[in-house]
Structure 1
Amino acid sequence: MHILIIEDDPSIQMLLKLSLEVEGFQTTLAGTALAGMEQLAAQQMDLILLDLMLPDRSGFELLQTLQQHYKTIPVIVLSAKNEMNDKILGFQLGADDYLTKPFETRELIVRIRAVIRRMTTAAPAPETIQMDKIEIDKRERSLKVGGTLVKTTSKEFDFMWLLCSHPKTVFTREQILDQVWGYEFYGQTRSVDMMVNRLREKMKPFDHLVATVHGTGYKLEV
């Protein structure tokens, strides 16, 4: 999961970067609205953290631009503006959440995961997905790899559907537990690794399509 942090304060930038990366998120920093737009044009982002008080442009104006060009990417506003009118305006312009400074990073992490869950649930997914050597059918709950039907358990199928629905997106083990097992899990994540190992055995010789991102989690390599 790749998060773009648009924030001009270097100390807050580093606090957010370190806190998010400890939780398994990938981050990119931008100190201005222009730099943020350049990063969005250069690479795929899954979520944006946006400060409203930027040196080159109003964060409210940037919210409008994001709604026009990157409407599918959720935005969480982080701002010292704590007046109710500012919060209402932020939501009206397209913010998915609004957190006032100062804030606890633990609360931010919870809010990020909540927004991700809402977006994953709200986005209408196709019933079938075909890419590279993979064909997956949600209605029949069937998975074909290299043209061969792979017999999966319920969790193995849900895991593959999650990856196929978000190709190239890196999911942490905690996120996989949350999305596939249906709850947030803190602590031992060995059950995810064991499931992936079993699934890869079934997918050979195309087991490399489920790629390990060391120190983070898994993604679909297509």
Structure 2
Amino acid sequence: MNLLIIEDDASIQMLLKLSLEVEGFHPTISGTISEGLAELSSRTFDLILLDLMLPDQSGFELLKSLRQSYKDIPVILLTAKNEMNDKILGFQLGADDYLTKPFETRELVMRIRAVMRRMRSESTLPTSETLQVGVIEIDREKRTLRVADQLIKTTSKEFELMWLLCKNPKKVFSREHLLDQVWGYEYYGQTRAVDMLINRLREKLKPHGYVLATVHGMGYKLEV
């Protein structure tokens, strides 16, 4: 598995390179965003480890670009910041996981493998898999969401949340269950990320008569 590590701290670069090579990965180190983009344009990578604090640009800005140009490559954020708002922003921009420094390399390896398992699982889905719920049409292969034949733009996490809800219309999901299903692993901590995704989707669906209803004390469900 080829990994691109975009990290400017020399000691962390060396630690990650040695630790990941021992685990059988093939890491490539870039110290800046410009170096990382040059590597991406010349080679194929299976996963990106991205530091948020880089000398030439914010990692958040690069993440936005990656989700447009390299949307099929999973990204795990590495950062010294532990603020919940930074984590939520990272997930909103399309990060697949988030790890706060300092971290155990064993945990990083486990998270890399968990993300790749999820990616392989998604790649085995039938290519024609679509769902129709009333006038909502969601296509897993094309990653499109249409309501009354109108294309609704969604982020990666918004799409996954809608897919889950459309597969189970009127079923109530707890916040913890949505975190587990949409993020792909057990997420310990606040559930504000789910609430923010729900609120954004509500604004997009409301004009068409669809509601992501709150079931007090339980969670959320899709209603007409």
The answer to whether TM tops 0.5 is yes
| Aligned-pair CA distance for 1:126 | 7.1
List 4+ stretches of structure 1 deviating above 6 A: none
Give runs of aligned pairs for residues 169-188 of structure 1, distance below 5 A: none
**Aligned residues, how many?**
127
Q: Which residue of 1 aligns with 2:98?
A: 98
SS in 2 for 1:113: helix
Do structure 1's residue 118 and structure 2's residue 109 form an aligned pair?
A: no
Q: How far apart, CA to CA, are the structure 2 residues paired with 1:110 and 1:72?
A: 20
Q: Which amino acid aligns with 2:2?
A: H
Residue 21, structure 1, aligned to residue 36, structure 2: no
Q: Corresponding residue for 1:48?
A: 48
Task: Give the unaligned 5+ runs of structure 1.
Answer: 128-222
Partner of 1:39: 39
- Flag structure 2 segments of 5+ consecutive residues without an equivalent: 128-224
SS in 1 for 2:12: helix
* Partner AA of 2:38 in structure 1: E
CA shift digits 1:62-91 (9 cap, x unpaired)? 000000100000000000011000000000
Residue type of the alignment partner of 2:100: T
Separation in structure 2 between the aligned mates of residue 113 and residue 105 of structure 1, nearest angstrom: 12
Distance in 1 (alpha carbons) for counterparts of 2:117 and 2:78: 19
- Describe the superposition over 1:141-193 as per-residue Cα deviations: whole angstroms up to 9, x where unpaired: xxxxxxxxxxxxxxxxxxxxxxxxxxxxxxxxxxxxxxxxxxxxxxxxxxxxx
The aligned residue for residue 183 of structure 2 is none
Aligned twin of 2:61 = 61
TM-superposed CA distance for 1:10, in Å, is: 0.7
Q: Deviations over 1:100-158 (max 9, x none)?
A: 0000000000000000000000124679xxxxxxxxxxxxxxxxxxxxxxxxxxxxxxx
TM-score by length of 2: 0.55
Structure 1 length normalisation: TM-score? 0.56
Mapped partners of 1:123, 1:67: distance in 2: 17
Q: Which residue is 1:71 aligned to?
A: 71
Provide the C-alpha distance between the structure 2 equivalents of 1:126 and 1:46, rounded to a whole number of angstroms. Answer: 21
* Distance (whole Å) between structure 1 residues aligned to residue 27 and residue 101 of structure 2: 20
What residue number does 1:30 align with? 30
In structure 2, give the amino acid aligned to 1:74.
Answer: P
SS in 1 for 2:115: helix
Q: Distance in 1 between matches of 2:40 and 2:126?
A: 25
The one-letter code of the counterpart of 2:24 is: G
Q: Root-mean-square deviation (CA), in Å?
A: 1.2
What one-letter code is carried by the residue in structure 1 that aligns with 2:79?
Answer: S
**Alignment partners' CA distance in 2, 1:102 and 1:65:** 26
SS of aligned partner of 2:72: coil
DSSP 3-state at the match of 2:77: strand
Per-residue CA deviations over 1:2-54 (Å, capped at 9, x if unaligned) read 00000000110010000000000001010001110110000000000000000
